[in-house]
Amino acid sequence: MKINHKNKKIYQNIVYPLAGTILTALLLTVVIESLSRASLYQALLFFKQKPLLFFLNFAVILITLSISLLTARRKFFFLTFTGIWLVLGIVNRVVQCFRLTPISAMDLYQASGLIKTLPVYFNTIGLIFIGLLLLAGVAFLFILWRKLKKSKRLVIAPVSLLVLASFLFILLFHTVTKENMLQKEFDNLRDAYLEYGFAYCFTNSIFERGIDRPKDYSKKRMEEVLDQIENETDKLYTGSTAKAEKPNIIMVQLESFFDVSYFKNYTFSENPAPNFTKLKENCPSGFLKVPVYGAGTVNTEFEVMTGMSMEFFGTGEYPYRTVLRSKTCESIPYNLDRNGYRSFVIHNNTATFYNRNDVFPMLGFDYFDSCEYMNGLIYNKIGWPKDEVLTGEILKALNSDAERDYIYTITVQSHGIYLDKEQDDAKIKVTPSSGNIAYPDNLYKSLSGYVNAIEYYVNELNETDRFIGELTESLSKYEEPTVVVFYGDHLPPLSLKQEDITNDRHSTEYVIWSNFPMEKTRYDLSAYQLGAYVFNRLGMEDGILAKFHQRCFEDANYRENLKLLQYDLLYGKKYVFNQENPNKKTDMSMGIYQPEVKEITRDGDNLLIKGSGFTECSTVIADGKRCKTEFINDTLLKIPYRQLEGKQVYVEQLAGEKTVLGKSKAFKYE
């Protein structure tokens, strides 16, 4: 059959663009889902088991490709949009080889921070390869722009396709939402991407950011909320007030800490957490509802520190990477500062993880003691520092001044993903129940590998529990009144579904230990209520949000007013202060004690730098140049000899190879 001139135009202007774009979008959906799931079979299984969600992702991609056809340079933009989707899929696959969470728009918003973290994951050759790829990509786009000239603008095909794709998306979105197959808010990004698809989840993260302005937000409305806070009586908590005046307050956030007795179908040769179990039996305790599962530590951290709920923020958002980069936020440190407390953060991981070194001054902390300022670090088999070092660091902070202290401690040892190989030296053994045991297969590919991962996890958990025992034992002899709040940040990344455990998948537990009498109670909380609850037990009322949680929990408009307060404090006009924001960025010091150079002597072909506060992250700067530095001990460093008479010498503390966290005062070498 011959195609006449008129039919040929129809095929060129309508049929081919429509068919080609639809086929490309379909192939992209399959390829991207295969990359996301690291398996073509899993992508096809997603299509078979959840066809509505599969085609929802197809519709998202189809919309973007349809838009590219509206331009006169449709060939260039079509290939560019196709390439962007492929690059996102590939980058997501690579990123998930190094961290638990997939990429989201938050990573793009913080591109500069992402670039800074590349040296953590790639060596010099890897970084050069990435740079060459980027240059090749730019060059390829330039060549495409030159080669693919403008064409006659199409109207019927792109408009029809855009209308069709949009209608398909709206129809599918309405259907899957109505059938409860889709959630707008994700508590775990990795699970959401596997459940709902990459294209939809990533696109959702672009538009969901910050807190939406409440419809009734106004100065008058905020005055009503403040009046309600002041006029309400204490409704929320039970238990008598502890009789201790201004105690030291220590909060210990336990990485992936979980009572494994809640596991179904698995038994353990012994209880991995006997100290925590004993504390639950004798101290105030309860379940703690957290905003994340398996990952997202800093969002639980944010809720506890500020009293704000992550419910009102964007999909997959980390305030540490967005709003807190530029704005201060009411927090426990700011509230306690008005009572004469000094605030410390202690974390046995790098200071730059989640931008903490930039964020903590926005939360009012005075000192940040990260692993770069610690000695005696021991690492587990997957490279995370063990938690045993933290007892000494906490005591160091307590003894560093005569004032009362607030110490927020973050553990890291039991961080996943866990080893799925059998460990010959495992103290605690894990046994699956007899019969056919179902196991989640998102991270671990076999039942034996999954059991090995659980076994590795519980043995790391046991060592963290040992730290809990050592800390409480040391503080029981401490002269100043001190209270310690232990809690888990989220359940471990073991791909747990609700049916795998007997407790809520979004609940960890907390206990409150003290070296003075405190009535034992059992009370379940949300993470954003924990700080207010601890204040209440100690007879303290400081901060707008703390008072709000203490007094207004049972009010019918509790949730709506909490959103109003959060919006006003972070994004609004700060009506609640009725004046300038009193929470100013602090001049936070890194480390509890700063490194100090006291003496420099020559030792053959080397110079010995004598002083204090040195660690393996200390680097000597002599005559303005960074020297090859050998760490001997906390009082001695060694560098190759060079003529330095009359020159300035100081010591920098580095995170990685380039990020300077702090430095000593200059020492003049004579």
Mean pLDDT score, 338-349: 95
Computed over every residue of the chain, the mean pLDDT equals 87
pLDDT of 132 strictly over 80 = no
Taking a C-beta distance cutoff of 8 angstroms, is the pair 452, 419 a contact? yes
Q: Give the confidence band of 206 by pLDDT, cuts at 50, 70, 90.
A: confident
Domain boundaries, the chain: 5-207, 233-554, 593-669
pLDDT tens for 82-108 read 888 998 998 888 877 666 678 887 777
Q: Is the pLDDT of residue 152 over 70?
A: no
CA distances from residue 59 to 79, 104, 629 in whole angstroms, order as listed: 18, 19, 56
| Whole-number pLDDT of residue 100 | 66
Output 277 or 667, whichever has higher pLDDT: 277
Range of weakest confidence among 24-28, 123-127, 460-464: 123-127
Architecture of the domain made up of 593-669? Sandwich (2.60)
| Residues 519/240, Cβ–Cβ less than 8 Å | yes
Q: How far apart are CA 201 and CA 598, in angstroms?
A: 55
Residue 519, token pair as written in the block: 């009535």
d(CA 395, CA 670): 37
CATH number of 233-554: 3.40.720.10
Return the residue matching tokens 């949680």: 549
Helix residue ranges, H only, 235-317: 274-282, 297-306
Question: Please, which pLDDT band fits residue 664 given cuts at 50, 70 and 90?
Answer: very high
Which tokens go with 394? 């906490």
Does 35 score more than 60 pLDDT? yes
Output the CA angle 58-291-430, nearest 5 degrees: 95
**CB–CB of 184/312 below 8 Å?**
no
At 641, list the tokens: 């000899």
Is the distance from CB of 550 to CB of 536 less than 8 angstroms? yes
pTM confidence score: 0.85
Q: Please, what is the end-to-end C-alpha distance for the chain in angstroms?
A: 96
Average pLDDT over residues 294-298: 87
Walk across the sheet containing 606-612 and list its strands. 596-603, 606-612, 636-640, 630-633
* pLDDT at site 235: 61
Instruction: Give the angle subtended at the CA of 414 by the CAs of 412 and 420, to the nearest 5°.
Output: 140
DSSP-derived secondary structure letter, 585: P
Provide φ and ψ at 103, rounded to 5°: -75, 155
Which tops the pLDDT comparison, 466 or 446? 466
- Tell me the residue ranges of DSSP E strands in 65-147: none
3-state secondary structure of 367: strand
Q: 110-114, 260-264, 465-469, 560-564 — which is least confidently predicted?
A: 110-114
The two tokens of residue 413 are 């040892």
Among the residues of 148-272, which ranges form H helices?
Answer: 156-178, 189-196, 198-207, 219-231
